[in-house]
Each structure stands twice: as C-alpha cells, then as structure tokens.
Structure 1
Amino acid sequence: MKFWFSKAAALAAMSLWLLAGCTGNAGGSGSAGSAASSPSTPTSASSPSNPASASNLSAESGPKLKVVATFYPMVEFSKQVGGAYAEVIGLIPPGVEPHDWEPSAKDMIQLKEADVFVYNGMVEGWAEKALNSVPNEKRTVVEASKGIELMQGLPEEEEEEGHAHHESSEESIMDPHVWLDPALAQKEVASIQAAFEKADPAHKEAYKKNAEAYITQLKQLDESFRTELKQVKRKEFVTQHAAFGYLAKQYGLTQIPIAGLSPEQEPSPEKMADIVNFAKEKQVRTIFFETLVDPKVANTIAKEIGAKTDVLNPIEGLTEEDKQKNLDYIGIMKNNLASMKKALNE
C-alpha cells in the first residue's frame, strides 16, 4: 500500500474523531457544510440534459441522499438519476486527469460520510482500499461498470508498470472506458439507479423516472452515432490514448491509439514509427488529441505526416472551456461525433 494511503487514512480517522462531537453522517441528508467546503462539489440542481430532474426541483425540501462519485461521468450520471433528491459530490476536481489521482484525508472523510459511493471501476485503483479504511455499514457502493463485458488492453499496455488500473501477473489489464460508448453508458446509469433505489427507497419512483428520461437521451445519442458513422469513407482513426475501444467496437470502427490505456504513457520509438507508417498508408488526415493531456505526441505525428489535429474528448473531466460553454456529457459526445464524422470522411 502506498504511503499516501496510510497517511490519508490516519488523517481521516483523526479528523473524524475531532468532528464526532459536532457532525456525523446525516443518514441520507448530506452535510451542507461538507458540500460547501469542497471546491469540486457539484450542486444537486438539474442539468439541461434531463427534464425529469428539472421537474423534481419543486419537490419538498428535506434530507437528501449524500452521494460521493469519483470523476466526471460518474458525477454526471449520478446527478441525472438523483435529481432534486440527491446531493452529489465529485471527488476528483474538474480539469484533473483521473487515472493517477489519489484521495486526500478530506476526501476520505467525504467517503466515510457518504450514503452512496459511485465509481466506474478500474480507473480508481485506490477505491477498494479506501472503502475498507473508512467502513460504513449503511453506505451503498456501486461499481458502475460491473456486469458489463469488458475489453482487454493491448499487449504493450499490459506490460506497463505502476499504472493506476487493476493489474496482476495472472490477469490482463481491462479497458475501463465503457462510459464512452452510449449504449454501455445506459447500463452504468441503470446500475446507479438501482443503488439509489436501494439506499433511498422512499424516492424510488423519482429515481426511476429520472433514469428513464436520461437513458432515453442516451439511446438517441447511440442512434445518432450509429446512423452518422455508418457510411463514413474510412473506418480507422488515430487517437492519443486507447480510450475509444468500446465506442469503436460498437460502431464498426478501428481505434489506432498512440499510447495505451493510460494517457500519460509515452509510446516507444518503434510504436511511433508504426503509427506514422500506418497513417501515411491509410492517408489519415486528422490525428486526435484530448483535453487534459499534453498533445505534443499527437502534434509530432501530425506534423510528420502533414495532417491536422482535432479534439476527441474522453470526458474524464470538464475543462474551464467546457464549463463556460455549458457542455455536459451528451454535449461533449455530440462534439466527438461531429469530429469523428468529419475526420472519417476526409
């Protein structure tokens, strides 16, 4: 176990002991003080994506389900399901790449006090140890990707050491990026819905209504991808890291990643040469990069083959620009679709 983890657990235990006299788990209410103190805390206000959530704003005031979610897709899906009945707190701040993020003592306290903890799985290599360090018998835990048929990482990715994803000598690294496939995102939303209903059965019908409304939008998004990518001229696309395997498989495309499952992984010179040769052979005219990682490698390859670059967003966190444009998961996915359609028809 890393030093950070034992230190964070010790600090969390001390903080909980000091706070025991004046605060505690609200049992579904969520402390307004703890929410306000977190810079990454989303509010429980509805998103434009979900009219059902908006309708719940007229619901009676009262204790809310305190939900702690890890990174942006989990936060957004939780907000869409919870509507006005849930206070959703995001652990990983906006603009931070989640693959190698680690919780602080303050984050451990949030986790301890949560009624529901939502995580994707595999991205959050720290989650299981963190949950065991701050036990809470009343807390409902949902691993949103559980039950989804996962894809394996590429061979060169499995050799990477020190990666944040689960790995062992007997087990291949699995690709965690299921949220980038709108069809699989629906399954993650359904898992979150089930967890909310278990933790707060009094508002079961509201959670069901909210989830159904959002899943309807995800189905429409899925159909847009299916229809608009069906007749593209080329099927291969080059992207900064291997985040789009599920999306590619769903819509009959081939992802050519520069790096592996970790966006910080540097490709070998041999891998760079292979990508350049492939791009030249296939006359690739766009190299995709992403928002939270330095695009220097993508820029290098694009310059080498005389191509341009464009954003293909893995939606691992919102940037300031995303927030200024009022973009959410569905909005960014629509932008991804437009970029892919353009590049694949060049």
Structure 2
Amino acid sequence: MERAPRRPKPPARHNNPRSHRVCLRVGCSADCALVLSRADRANSNPHIPGTQSLKPAAFIVLLAVLLPGASAWASTLSVVVTVNPLALLIEEVTGERASVHVLVPPGASPHSFEPKPSDLVKVARADVFLSVGGGLDDWSSRLFQTVHGRAKNQTLFGLIGRASAPSPDRDAHDHAHHHDHAHDHGDGGEDPHLWLDPILVADEIVPALVRYLSEVDPSSAAHYRERGAQFSATLAQLDGELRTLLSGEARHYVAFHGAWKHFGARYALEQVAVVQEAPGEAPTPRELANLVRSARRLNLGAILVEPQLDPRIANTLSNEFGGTTVLVDPLGDPGDKARSTYPDLLRFNARAFRHAMALHAKGNSSP
C-alpha cells in the first residue's frame, strides 16, 4: 500500500511570545525576532513617522532579503546617520574603515523626513547610529526605540556636550521680529547646524568623533586619531580660504531658513531677515510685509534659498523688492561635485554668500 506523501513542514517560527510571524531568513537569530516584534508595535503606533506604511508581509520579506549574517558586516564599521553632513565628517575620520549610510536623501528636509522600512533594517544592523539632535531630527530617537538594534545610539549635541534644544514651537517665538532674530529651532535653543562652522568642527566635533569611534572600534583608534588630526589641519586651512572669500565690505544677508547662525557668527555676517522661522510653516502676511519693507530699506538684492525647501515664497518675496534668489546648501549632495565633500560644501556656500551680499550692496537683481 502506497503511503500518502508527507506534508512539508511549515517554516520555523521564532520562540518569541511577542512575534507570531514567520521569518524566511535561513539561520536567523534573536535579532530578527526583536526587530519583528518592535515592528509590530510600530505598525500600530501613529506617532512614529513613516512606520504607518510598514505592512507585515512586506516587512518580513524585506528582512529576509536585507538582513545578512553578521559576517557580512564584520569587515568595516557599519554607521547609519540621519543627514549627509554627519556622513561627510565621519568619512573624513574613518576613511575606508567605515561604511556610512545616510537616511535623509539629497534634496529632502530632515524636518519632514519619514523613514522607509529599509531604513529600519539598516538601523537594526548598524554598529553606530548618529543623529544631530537639537530639534533637527527628533524622529530619529523614536525610530531607534522602535528598532532598538545593536547600534550605539548618539547625537551630535550629546557627543560635544551641548544641551539639545526642544522641537520648534512657533508659539514660543515673537514672530513679529523676523529681522531681529535668527531661527533657533526652539525657544532659546541653539541652531542645530553646528557643522557649518569649520572651527567648531575642528575644535569640538572632530575630537569628539575620534573619541567616540575609538570606543566603538578600539582596534582602529590610532587610525582615527591620525585621520582626525589631518582633517583638523585641513579645516584650519579651509577657514583661511573662507575668510578670504568673505572679506568684502557687504556683511548682510536674507535667508529663507534660519540655518546659518554658526556660519554667520564665525565670519561676522549679519542676518537681517529670515522667511521661515520654522521649516514648513508659512510666514504670516504681516511677517512678509515686514520682510519686504526691511529689504527695501536696506537695499537688499537677494534671498538665500535651499534645495531642501520650496523656493516659491522666496521667489515671490524677492520680486517684491526687486531682488533674486541665490542657492545655498546646509546639507550637501554627494551627486554634485561642487557640494560632495565637507570642504567643497563650505566653499560652495561661502561663494554663494559673497555673491548674494554683493547683490545686497549693489541693490539690483542681476549678477
């Protein structure tokens, strides 16, 4: 008598009481169960940006494809950062000894970014997860709590021992005084764009990165110290270049977004107006009228705009006072050679500021 064929065994399930879903990855570990379990909670948590789109079946397949064994990650330090400037600085210190992934893509704003499922996987498998803090990328802490992988989690503000500013709160500002105050991403908080001051980077950020990365990867500590010293010397030379570029008599500028407090303070530049106190929030008619009056009174000729933010309001405003717009970039773009490295990014911005401020001095709308 022929025996009935055996039914195939179902795929093994995790021995995790919080996760009853099937993992398709061969040789999976407890890490996978933990990520799946936390992903379940993320799916039902509307307060975590981007996680609402994580469908269970798609996320399981994504984990199966993207989560390799630990040996695939062992050759280099795996680092995930929220924004491109952090990657530029880390790569200067680590060289080829780290693989760095940036969550916020070129042209996107870190203020409104929502992580994708693939971002959760990268964070779960990283050795280091570094965000800025200071209200710039608050979503990153919720993202890390959702995944809670093996990564060392740190902020740039925490690394250099600065208090992190609260999230932007429009009600905490007196918005009738755009021309008097720079946007500080919070009530009394510090501008989080710390990297736009190369001396602050050389004196505080690079030494902090060297110490932190050496703790995470002690076998490469001497390498990190050597490259950190070399980069600090490069930054001293870069500072001299920028001072020469910005040595003209014109010192005033109008910014669409208040990201330039550290850059302006380092090179004695004065922000006389800012269009948006908080990214994504349209200025009131009264604020726009005040800005136009200030621009006309000071004979300004340009508004500095950024590729991460919609320039239409700036275009309209500059037309009101007979000016134009000039592109600056606080984050950089690895696809553009003019902004692909940290020194080149700051040179790009210094040239843009010089051009815009010259237009201010001339009071016309043509280069």
Task: Tell me which residue corresponds to 2:357.
Answer: 344
Q: Which amino acid aligns with 2:220?
A: H
Shift of 1:201: 0.5
Task: Tell me which residue corresponds to 2:30.
Answer: none
Q: Is 1:329 the counterpart of 2:311 in the alignment?
A: no
Candidates 249, 257, 273, aligned match of 1:241: 257
Candidates 305, 318, 322, aligned match of 2:333: 318
The share of aligned pairs that are identical, in percent, is: 26
The 3 A distance-change label for structure 1 pair 10 and 78 is farther
Distance in 2 (alpha carbons) for counterparts of 1:341 and 1:18? 48
Q: Which amino acid aligns with 2:262?
A: Y
- Please give the TM-score of this superposition, normalised by the length of structure 1: 0.75
- Please give the TM-score of this superposition, normalised by the length of structure 2: 0.71
Any gaps of 5 or more consecutive residues in structure 2? 1-45, 175-183, 362-367
Q: Is 1:305 the counterpart of 2:318 in the alignment?
A: no
Task: Tell me which residue corresponds to 1:129.
Answer: 142
Pairing 1:106-145 to 2, within 5 Å after superposition: 106-121=118-133, 122-136=135-149, 138-145=150-157
Q: Say how many residue pairs are matched.
A: 300
Pairing 1:170-319 to 2, within 5 Å after superposition: 172-186=188-202, 187-230=204-247, 232-255=248-271, 256-262=273-279, 264-315=280-331, 317-318=332-333
Shift of 1:279: 1.0
The 3 A distance-change label for structure 1 pair 166 and 13 is farther
Structure ranking higher on relative contact order (CA contacts 8 Å, 6+ apart): 1
Task: Note if contact 1:190-1:211 (Cα within 8 Å) is conserved in structure 2.
Answer: yes
Question: CA offsets per residue over residues 240-297 of structure 1, 9 Å max, x none?
Answer: 11110111122222222111241x2211111111111111111112222122222212
Shift of 1:23: 3.2
Shift of 1:227: 4.4
Two-structure CA RMSD over aligned residues (Å): 3.3
Task: Tell me which residue corresponds to 2:101.
Answer: 89
Q: Is 1:23 the counterpart of 2:65 in the alignment?
A: no
Secondary structure of the 2:316 match is helix
Q: Which amino acid aligns with 2:309?
A: V
Shift of 1:191: 2.5
Distance in 2 (alpha carbons) for counterparts of 1:253 and 1:166? 20
Task: Note if contact 2:79-2:126 (Cα within 8 Å) is conserved in structure 1.
Answer: yes
The 3 A distance-change label for structure 1 pair 153 and 301 is farther
Any gaps of 5 or more consecutive residues in structure 1? 31-61
Distance in 1 (alpha carbons) for counterparts of 2:236 and 2:296? 36
Question: CA offsets per residue over residues 158-192 of structure 1, 9 Å max, x none?
Answer: 459xxxx986xxx6554211121222233333322
Task: Note if contact 1:241-1:259 (Cα within 8 Å) is conserved in structure 2.
Answer: yes
Task: Note if contact 2:166-2:185 (Cα within 8 Å) is conserved in structure 1.
Answer: no
